Amino acid sequence: MLEIERRTVGDVYVLDISGKITLADGTTDIRYAISDILGSGGNKIVLNLTGVDSVDGSGVAELLRSYTEVAKAGEQLRFLNVTRKLLELLVITKLLFVFQIYDSERDAVASFA
């Protein structure tokens, strides 16, 4: 099961995600959380993936879809604490350089300045 905790750091929305990002477990939850932020005027979003223990192809597709949705709205999305397994998937799918990935929340938040 996927869990998403939403918080703000200044004017940046941080989504702390834990669980599985798979077709069966919550890819739509990420979509709704991001749409809600965009709908309320949020324009800087960090996905904190520290607690993600599993990602499948559908999960990678959802992350790419989310990134695209945010970019089309003229807004910005960053990834924080990408797990080793997800990093490997991003390398295999050649998406590693599409996303802006950070290892520290401070750096991710500061990247919007």
pLDDT score recorded for residue 25: 67
Tokens 């669980």 belong to 19
Distance of alpha carbon 69 from alpha carbon 25, whole angstroms = 20
**Beta strands 12-21 and 3-9: pairing type?**
antiparallel
3-state secondary structure of 46: strand
pLDDT score recorded for residue 28: 86
Indicate the pLDDT class of residue 99, thresholds 50, 70 and 90: very high
Nearest in space to 58 (alpha carbons), one of 23, 28, 34: 23
Q: Is the pLDDT of residue 26 over 80?
A: no
Q: CA dist 29 to 39, 52, 71, Å?
A: 15, 14, 19
pLDDT score recorded for residue 41: 94
Domain coverage including residue 14: 3-110
* pLDDT 10s digits, 27-85: 789 999 999 999 999 999 999 999 998 898 888 999 999 999 999 999 999 999 998 88
Distance of alpha carbon 108 from alpha carbon 113, whole angstroms = 10
CATH of the domain at 97: 3.30.750.24
pTM of the model: 0.92
